[in-house]
Amino acid sequence: MRILLNITALLLVFSVNLSAQSDFKTLDQQTYNYYIKGDYKNLKNTADTMLSHGMDYYYLRMRLGILAYNKQLYSSILKNFTRAMEFNSIDTISREYIYFSYLFSGRKADAYLYLESVPKYKKNNILKSIGKPGLSSVYAGSSASGSDVTLYKTNNLYYEAVKSSLSFNAGFESYFSARFKGTFAYTNYHKTGTVYSVSDTSGIGLNFTQHQLYAKLNGYIFPGWEFSGFGHVAFYPYVTTQTQTNIEYLGGLGIAKNGWKIRTGANLSFSNFSNSNQIRGEGYLTYLPFANLNLYFTSGGMYQSDKYWGGTYQINQEIGFKISKSIWLESGIIKGNSFLYARNQGYMINNSFQIPETTIYSNIILLPDKKFSITISPYYCKNQIYSWNLNSYLRTNKLNINSFGVAFKLTCKIK
């Protein structure tokens, strides 16, 4: 009887093993067929069934990873290719896919950090050919705007009636190593119109030019984290006398966390614009629902405390999405009451006495090839214009002035 029971048990085990092997062959063939057809949805459903029954192996993870990459589902790629390398530690293809997944999802620094962590003997020829240190990109651009203006017969306070503005800027980005990047830029800003003051109550021609130098150092110590220090110096003459040169500065520190679907950051800066002192904090949150750059939403805000003029703020909302392989579109709105303000870690500054109450803009990003990008940015701005008492730190006679402009930027990617 005992012998009969043992034989029965062995037959059952053998039958189960045969059934499992048969199921594995069937499911494996299905995943292969879905992979050949590029059918990621059915491939993933079948793979989930296999994984739930403990069927996990190298080629299954490779099929999932490659189709996820083709679908730009970058957050799924890391999981599958990392698992594939656990089955095959000398696999170089998975490492290449992981690198480009970081890169194409907008996490360039994390791509370089990952590349640095891969031993040379585990890199394929493509990864070996990618050099990290050195010049990364250069750019040049210009912007122009025009405003309706209100002129006074006399005004014994400080008032700027800006008719037009024009700026030129250029800069470059360079990686010192995988962990440190520098950004350097120069801007020449010019505005024309009429300016009133205590010494020129009937107004004189406004012909103002400002030179700006900007520098930023980014550090990437840990994957997903970014630390930065930045500074901005502006040189310009007094508006009314056009003789003596003012020197104003801004400096600050920032931190950012870059995930697949959530990216956020904050910075704190100090400046001395217009013979006053300002301390400001800025933060933003970006949500990428598909973990790629095909669609993203950004909300941000800034609060600034001014020594003489009190607290001011700005808030902004932006949406960006891919129209085609070579065209992206971003649109946004900025609201607030800040003057003497700085945004985007000091890269953009404005020490004018115009307050941009509402700004509506679009960025049309054209990618004619892999090396160049062109950004065209039309915008509308509703400015609040005051007459300013610069001795008593008061402002009166608020006016709403409309301005329209457009900006252009050409970027050349070196590597």
pLDDT in tens, 5-20: 344 443 333 333 434 4
For the domain 2-128, what is the CATH code? 1.25.40.10
Give CA–CA dist 89/155, Å, rounded. 77
pLDDT in tens, 235-276: 888 766 666 688 889 999 999 999 999 999 999 999 987 778
The arithmetic mean of pLDDT across residues 298-326, rounded, is 94
Give, rounded to a whole angstrom, the gap between the first and last alpha carbons of the chain. 77
**pLDDT at residue 13 in the model:** 38
Neighbour-count burial for 185-222, b at 16+ CB within 10 Å, e otherwise: bebebebebbbbbeebeebeebebebebebbbebbbee
| Amino acid making up residue 282 | E
Instruction: Assign domain 134-413 to a CATH class.
Output: mainly beta
pLDDT in tens, 320-367: 999 998 999 999 999 999 987 777 766 777 777 889 999 999 999 999
Exposed (0-12), middle (13-18) or buried (19+): which is 271, by Cβ within 10 Å?
Answer: buried
**pLDDT at residue 415 in the model:** 72
| Amino acid making up residue 201 | T
Give CA–CA dist 156/396, Å, rounded. 12
Mean pLDDT of the chain: 88
Domain 2-128 and domain 134-413 have a common topology: no
Above pLDDT 90, what percent of the chain?
64
pLDDT in tens, 104-114: 998 988 998 89
Q: Which residues contact 147 (CB under 8 A, 6 or more apart)?
A: 162, 163, 164, 193, 383, 401, 402, 403
Residue ranges per domain, the chain?
2-128, 134-413
Closest CA to 315 of 351, 354, 343: 343
More confident site: 370 or 44:
44
